[in-house]
Amino acid sequence: MALDAALRDALARNEGLHLAYQPQFDLRTGALVGWEALLRWQHPTLGALSPAEFIPIAERSGLILALGQWVLRAACQQAQAWRARGWPAVRMSVNVSPLQMRRSDFLPSVDAALAACGLPADALELEITEGVLMQDDSPAAASLTALGERGIALAIDDFGTGYSNLGYLSRFQVHRLKIDRSFVHNLSQSPQDLALVRAIVHMAHGLGLVTVAEGVETDAQQQQLQALGCDHGQGWLWHPALRPAECEAIWEQAQAQA
Ligand code: G
Ligand code: G
Ligand code: MN
Ligand code: NA
């Protein structure tokens, strides 16, 4: 079976798809500040496939709309389940494809996902890439404004790898910039990357935005990011994306330390 047919089948049967969650931490205090939901697909014969392989296929076939809705609902449901247990009310971040954002029914679908499980709007963050923010008059722009009004946070994913027109940062209500892991990777060897991260953090703070460093793998990177004033970190230094049961162990640990 072709990959897109297999994916369609997985979605229809609700088999082989699940979300993993990667925790994010405050670089100064070490507190848990949020989770990024990351889609996983266990193909019946090929085994675990990376979203980097199958998301583009889902985007080409249009399946990304149903898949994205599945992700949104599952992530909201998990966030609400954790809140119901009394765990700290941190945000759940969900990746959204530009194709989802451009649909006029995107906003109602987000509202429906929140309503289905009773999750408050301010518990959700949507991660979008810079390209979505380039056109003022697209349906995406209208949705972005309405999302902000509801208290849903917006994060710019892979920041620094897309466009250089940054006007959208003041036009839309963006909350966090996620500094792409390509900049984080060489922080200690590359004065250029260090200068870029410093500039991004400085600009973000000037605009009242929070910065998240992605792909933090070493103590040295963590210390440099902290020295540069970067707010949050996410990466293998702490944890990879985890199954819910593993996340729950992290919650317990955070509680014990609090
Ligand atoms: O999970 P991993 O770290 O391998 O993710 C690879 C890529 O797939 C990342 O760019 C990530 O943003 C994207 N991705 C993961 N989950 C989702 C999802 O639910 N929706 C969309 N649109 N992209 C996702
Ligand atoms: O593009 P986006 O940031 O949504 O994708 C997150 C991707 O980064 C996922 O594929 C995830 O597995 C990966 N990732 C998470 N932490 C690390 C890390 O510390 N190092 C590297 N190289 N990749 C990471
Ligand atoms: Mn992301
Ligand atoms: Na990213």
pLDDT of residue 136 exceeding 80, the answer is no
Q: Which of 144-148, 231-235, 240-244 has the lowest mean pLDDT?
A: 144-148
What pLDDT is attached to residue 103?
92
211 touches 231 (CB < 8 A): yes
Residue 51 Cβ < 6 Å to ligand 1: yes
Q: Whose CA is nearest to atom 16 of ligand 2?
A: 235
pLDDT of residue 137 exceeding 70, the answer is no
Ligand 4 centre to CA of 107 (Å) is: 23
33 touches 90 (CB < 8 A): yes
Q: For the packed helices 139-150 and 106-117, what is the interaxial angle rounded to 10 degrees? A: 30
Percentage of the residues of the chain whose pLDDT score is greater than 70 = 98
The residue ranges of DSSP E strands in 129-214, in sequence order, are 153-159, 176-179, 210-213
Ligand 2 centre to CA of 129 (Å) is: 15
Ligand 4 centre to CA of 250 (Å) is: 22
The closest ligand to the CA of 222 turns out to be: 2
Residue with tokens 């090929």: 46
pTM of this prediction?
0.96
List pLDDT tens digits, range 172-202: 899 999 999 999 999 989 999 999 999 999 9
Domains and CATH numbers, the chain: 22-35+65-236 (3.20.20.450)
pLDDT of residue 18 exceeding 90, the answer is yes
234 touches 211 (CB < 8 A): no
**Residue 14 — pLDDT band, cuts 50, 70, 90?**
very high
What pLDDT is attached to residue 167?
84
Calpha distance 96→248 (Å, rounded): 25
Residue 63 Cβ < 6 Å to ligand 1: no
Per the structure block, which two tokens stand in for 212?
């998240």
Return the best residue to mutate from 39, 57, 101 for the ligand 1 pocket (most ligand atoms within 8 A of CB): 39
End-to-end CA distance of the chain: 50
**Residue 133 — pLDDT band, cuts 50, 70, 90?**
confident
Q: Whose CA is nearest to atom 24 of ligand 1?
A: 95
List pLDDT tens digits, range 24-69: 999 999 999 999 999 999 999 999 999 999 999 999 999 999 999 9
Q: Whose CA is nearest to atom 10 of ligand 1?
A: 52
